[in-house]
Each structure stands twice: as structure tokens, then as C-alpha cells.
Amino acid sequence: GAFAEPLYVLDEFGVDQGWNSTDEHPRFLVTTTRDGVPDIVGFGPHGVVVARGRGDGTFEPARLVLNDFGQDQGWTGAKHLRLLADVTGDKNPDIIGFGNEGVWVSHNNGDGTFEQAQLVCRGFGYNEDAGGWRVDRHPRFLADITGDGRVDIVGFGGPGVHVARNLHRRFRTR
């Protein structure tokens, strides 16, 4: 196997545009619509930014699609995880944020945009009353451990393994 020489395809998401930390500004390649073409989803200073894939190895210009999960809203890489996975079972990746108060979910609208985030679980969060979870000590993963087509949360906390089963709109901690 071999790869072609790299091509410069987009003036966005780079260090020169302020995306200078993978901790502060995580970026993902996921299909935000059902077209099967990967899009770039980034968590920037002002919120969630998406550059839709064109299917030819290039991307449309990025646009801010949600004023949430960014530094302006208090999200920092030192305290908070931001991930993408299918919470609803509709085959579209939703945003899952492990914030101060617990787990926040922003459902994918299927068109490259996301609904306003909702607090769905008061566990796995940074604040002590939400469990006192730390990015550097308490890994949290999203996986369908029940076989229902929707991700559940598995966290490795102080005393051991914590699981929150997905109840579609809310997670139940066990």
C-alpha cells in the first residue's frame, strides 16, 4: 500500500486559525449526515464547527453549527471530554460532552447540525456532586454494551468500573 502526496484542501482547523491544541480543540472525522461522506467536526472557541465532506477528498468551508461545547461556554480540555457517537440509534453521531454537572448530549439533526445540548446524566462530571471525574485519571468510553444499537457509558473511576445504560433520552447510572 502507498499514499499520494498530501494536498492542501482547506484553510480551517489549523494552528494558524487558532486550533493549536488537540486537548482544547478536538477534531473528528465522522459522517454527520447519512450520505456516507466523512465531515470534519471540531470543537472550537465559539462552539461546534462542521466542514461537510464533498466526497472527492475536499471539504466545504467550515461553519459554526452550535454555540455550545466551546471555550466561550466554559468547556476546556483540562476538565471536559467531548465525543461523537450514536446515542439514539438513528445511525447519526450525536455529541456527548462530559461537563461540570455530568453528561450533556446534543442530538444530530441529520443535516450536519445539532440540537441544543441537554443534561442527561448527573454522573461522570467534573464537579464533586457529579462524581469528581478527571480527564487525566478517569477514562470514559462510549460503546453499545447492551446490544440495542445505542451507546452506553463505561467509566473507570476511583473505586472501579461505572456503567450508565442508555435509556434513549436519559442515561441510568449503575
**What is the fold, at CATH topology level, of the domain defined by 15-173?**
Methylamine Dehydrogenase; Chain H (2.130.10)
DSSP letters spanning 34-56 = TTS--EEEEEETTEEEEE-B-SS
Helix (H, G, I), strand (E, B) or coil at 169: coil
Q: Residue with C-alpha cell 436519559?
A: 170
Contact criterion met (CB below 8 Å) for 106 and 134? no
Q: What is the pLDDT of residue 173?
A: 54
How many percent of the chain have pLDDT more than 70?
Answer: 97
pLDDT band at 9 (very low <50, low <70, confident <90, very high): very high
Asked if residue 170 has pLDDT above 70, the reply is no
In the chain the beta strands, taken as DSSP E runs, fall at: 27-30, 39-44, 47-51, 63-66, 81-85, 94-98, 103-106, 118-121, 140-143, 152-156, 161-166, 171-173
- With 0-12 / 13-18 / 19 or more C-beta atoms within 10 angstroms meaning exposed / middle / buried, residue 6 is exposed
Confidence (pTM): 0.93
